[in-house]
Amino acid sequence: MSAQTRTRTFSIKEAAALTGLPASTLRYYESIGVVAPVSRSASSGHRVYDEDDLDLLTWVACLSATGMSVSDMRQYVANGAAGAAAAEQQIELLSAQRERLAREAERLAVRRRYVQLKVDYWQAVADGDDARATSLSEGARALADELKRTK
């Protein structure tokens, strides 16, 4: 029932759509060895991705999205290929990643409030409501302080 689904292959465009990474980045990651060279169509020379490639790339996409360096990703992928033996190290790498994300989330929340405040500020300026503008301006300053502390 799934003999053909499991062996389906994908063009670079499809792989890009499925992993969320631009095609240019897929080529780039391959060129610098983050992922192994992808097999090619014999006739056209175009890259042909299988489902295993996609699984790996989805995972790499997640790592890169969280600010992991390409050399760390290379390392991580190598570990992943080594299998369960490297589980300990995977967990370590991932926990660091998780904390990075948590901090990122905090900073992002503050930034959102900051931007909203700035929108309100300029709205007040546009409305000629100077008192409100001044008070918002002070709020922005306070938030900017908070932003710098969370960093």
Partner DNA sequence: CCTTTGACTTCAAGTACTTGAAGTTCCTAG
Partner DNA sequence: CTAGGAACTTCAAGTACTTGAAGTCAAAGG
Residues that bind DNA (CB under 7 A): 11-14, 22-25, 27-28, 40-41, 43-47, 64, 69-71
Given 32, 81, 82, 91, the residue binding a second copy (CB under 8 A): 91
Of a second copy, DNA, none, which one does residue 147 interact with (CB within 5 to 8 Å by kind)?
a second copy
Q: Which helix (H) or strand (E) holds 103?
A: helix 87-127
Rounded to whole angstroms, how far apart are CA atoms 118 and 105? Answer: 20
Given 74, 90, 135, 139, the residue binding a second copy (CB under 8 A): 90
Enumerate residues 105-124 that contact a second copy by CB under 8 A.
105, 107-109, 111-112, 114-116, 118-119, 122-123
Residue 18 in contact with a second copy, rule: CB under 8 A: yes
Of DNA, a second copy, none, which one does residue 12 interact with (CB within 5 to 8 Å by kind)?
DNA
DSSP letter for 47, please.
B
Rounded to whole angstroms, how far apart are CA atoms 147 and 141? Answer: 10
Measure Cα distances from 13 to 7, 20, 75, 95, 109 in Å: 18, 10, 26, 32, 33
The amino acid present at 93, given as its one-letter code, is L
